[in-house]
């Protein structure tokens, strides 16, 4: 009887250990996913649509910095999505000033070479497109252009899911060196700037494209410009 009980106890322990190992193996795939940090100043439906997207979660391990009270390690993430961007935060991030948890994480993400996405619907500047003085609007727009030239990708809520789920290159984003300020420029008088315009410009060795203030830049054009190190600067019509 004692021998039988001993055998049963050994079987129970071995079975329990096997269950533990199986659980560890099942956890490994999620640990191997790329990390995406959603960074916002306030909760909104736009960022939650990404947070709850099954397609995005199949590829990314998604966390919301605000839900974690910004208590996150940036090294644990491969990409950052700025779900909202106030004019004040835009100014500070473009100036490299991390004076709060939100701006600090955004600045660190750019400096660390993380892939940074900016949700267009959350950019406060765009709310004043019709009312702001042209020169003042242009000043803030140039700061947003500067972030894009630094590698950030401006995208809409519709585009961001596709950008996050399409195959991404393993290599880090290549950003043009700071000393390349004398790169070849080209001015395009177009109402809409597309990825085809970017491809043609790149073939000509153009590193900076200037367009009018009213020019519409497609999401694919912005993404291509960020990936190829081409600066797009909006002027004043």
What domains lie within the chain, and their CATH numbers? 34-167 (3.40.50.1950), 176-237 (3.100.10.20)
pLDDT confidence of residue 173: 38
Give the β-pairing of 216-217 and 192-193.
parallel
**Whether this model's pTM surpasses 0.75:** no
R_g of the chain computed on alpha carbons? 23
Longest dimension (CA), the chain: 94
Please check whether residue 194 is in contact with residue 219, taking contact to mean a CB–CB distance below 8 angstroms.
no
CA distance 190 to 174: 27
Q: How big is the chain, counted in residues?
A: 237
Examine the pLDDT at 8 and tell me if it is beyond 90: no
Tell me, what's the pLDDT at 112?
93
Q: Which pair of structure tokens corresponds to residue 104?
A: 């600090």
- At residue 175, the pLDDT reads 40
> Does residue 202 or residue 84 have the better pLDDT?
84
Burial (Cβ within 10 Å: 0-12, 13-18, ≥19) of residue 175:
middle
Percentage of residues of the chain with pLDDT beyond 90: 29
Q: How far is residue 183's CA from residue 174's CA, in Å, rounded to a whole number?
A: 16
């Amino acid at each position: 009887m004692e021998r039988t009980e001993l055998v049963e106890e050994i079987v129970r322990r071995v079975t329990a250990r096997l269950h533990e190992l199986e659980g560890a193996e099942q956890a490994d795939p999620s640990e191997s996913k790329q990390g995406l940090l959603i960074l916002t100043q306030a909760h909104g439906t736009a960022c939650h649509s990404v947070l709850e997207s099954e397609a995005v979660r199949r590829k990314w391990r998604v966390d919301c910095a605000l839900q974690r009270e910004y208590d996150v390690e940036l090294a644990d993430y491969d990409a950052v999505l700025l779900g909202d961007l106030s004019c004040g935060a835009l100014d500070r991030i473009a100036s490299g000033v991390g004076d709060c948890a939100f701006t600090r994480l955004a600045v660190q993400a750019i400096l660390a070479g993380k892939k940074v996405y900016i949700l267009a619907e959350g950019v406060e500047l765009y709310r004043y497109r019709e009312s702001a003085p042209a020169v003042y609007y242009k000043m803030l727009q140039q700061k947003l252009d500067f972030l894009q030239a630094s590698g950030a990708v401006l995208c809409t809520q519709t585009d961001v899911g596709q950008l996050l789920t399409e195959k991404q290159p393993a290599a880090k984003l290549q950003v043009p060196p700071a000393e390349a300020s004398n790169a070849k420029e080209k001015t395009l008088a177009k109402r809409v700037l597309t990825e085809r315009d970017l491809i043609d410009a790149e073939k000509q060795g153009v590193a900076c494209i200037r367009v009018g203030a009213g020019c519409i830049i497609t999401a694919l054009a912005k993404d291509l410009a960020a990936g190829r190190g081409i600066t797009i600067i909006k002027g004043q019509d």
